[in-house]
Amino acid sequence: MESLLQEWDGETVVIQRDHPTGAWIFIAIHSTKLGPATGGTRMKHYPDQRAALEDALKLAAGMTFKFAVPGFDRGGGKAVISIPEELEPASRSELLMRYGKLVQQLGGAFYTGPDVGTSTADMDIIAETGSPYIFCRTPEKGGAGSSGPLTALGVFTGIQVVCEHVYGNSSLKDRKVLVQGVGSVGKTLIEYLRNAEADVMFSDVAEEIIQQYRDQPGIQYIPAEDVYQTECDVFAPCAFGGVINKETIPQLKCRIVAGGANNQFESPQDAERLRARDILYAPDYVINVGGAMGITGIEAQGWSWEEAEEKVIHTVRYALKRIIEMSEAESITTDEAARRMANEHLSHSTANTDLSMDVKEDF
């Protein structure tokens, strides 16, 4: 793990062992140049702690770019709780309470909300000890609820923008869109697509989700093993990252990749691989900003839900159009164009270069 930290360009990593459960907590603060580090809490089992730390570092860096592209006043951070394969419900709640205490002890250096493996109900539990640094609590507990709908809105807007560029029309009527992963973002994205009269396909590995969606009219189920070979206009990854890589890119039969999953590339070279195949990529951290920005605006800046929706649509549309224009004008990938835009905003802020690692063995 030491080599990962030495190569990382972020600011601070807090590593803590939860002895009662055997879980490990990694809080990665990549940048506070634009504001306090903000990002979700991912909770899942990992093959080893190096993999968990690597995930936290990559996700935190992604959050920096997510906020920096629109110049939103938040920094990039992420938390990963690496849990044992078996964790009792009671132990889980107690773990979340102890995690909340750790977040609270950071004194506002890190704000968090749900991510893979956590929910708004979990945020209620974490907030009992982590308040006021917890976003997305349930409305019953004074929060704005799930960030999924606002994230999906941004992704849907991004799909409209890239379709307008590629096909000359933002209408999605009869466009074939394949959604990979029907979680909180994917399911809402499917609703937007169906309302827009798109030809929707979906893929998931959870049997209950497959059963729920496969027999609905106007939607087609694609087995996981057939996803990359399926012809479509838009491929929308909305599950885990790393699905766009040197193995899958040659198989793709689409003109556009635009989805809500974080860190869709397995390596930086994958952006150029897509460009070489004339597949237009909408950078994930540009179009999936809706939940992070919208919920933060609602809970920290007093936006209404309607105001958040308007800002998400405007932000994604403006940023993505500018990125595509820059990409074509300078013959660079859309990923490189997006990073340049983010770095423009970061370079005009006060740098914080205090890179450190704080390892704590006990709560």
**Rounded Cα–Cα distance for residues 122 and 5 (Å):** 29
The encoded tokens of residue 30 equal 């990549």
Residue recorded with tokens 């809105």: 153
Let me know if 33 is a catalytic residue: no
At position 111, the amino acid (one-letter code) is Y
The encoded tokens of residue 257 equal 């990749």
Q: Do residues 185 and 152 make contact, with C-beta atoms less than 8 angstroms apart?
A: yes
The encoded tokens of residue 19 equal 């002895």
φ, ψ of residue 72 to 5 degrees: the values are: -75, 145
Is the four-CA dihedral 351, 354, 360, 363 of positive or negative sign? Answer: negative
**Rounded Cα–Cα distance for residues 236 and 256 (Å):** 8
φ, ψ of residue 170 to 5 degrees: the values are: -80, -10
Q: Within a 13 Å sphere around the CA of 301, how many CA atoms are in the beta-carbon half? A: 14
Running DSSP on this structure, what letter comes out for residue 225?
A: G
User: Which member of 78, 176, 187, 311 is catalytic?
Assistant: 78
CA dist 234 → 170, 184, 266, 301 (Å): 13, 19, 19, 34
**Rounded Cα–Cα distance for residues 6 and 259 (Å):** 31
Is the four-CA dihedral 349, 271, 180, 178 of positive or negative sign? Answer: positive
3-state class (DSSP) for residue 203: strand
Strand order in the sheet with 256-257: 219-221, 199-203, 176-180, 234-237, 256-257, 280-281
Residue recorded with tokens 């089992």: 45
φ, ψ of residue 259 to 5 degrees: the values are: -145, 180
Catalytic residue ranges: 78
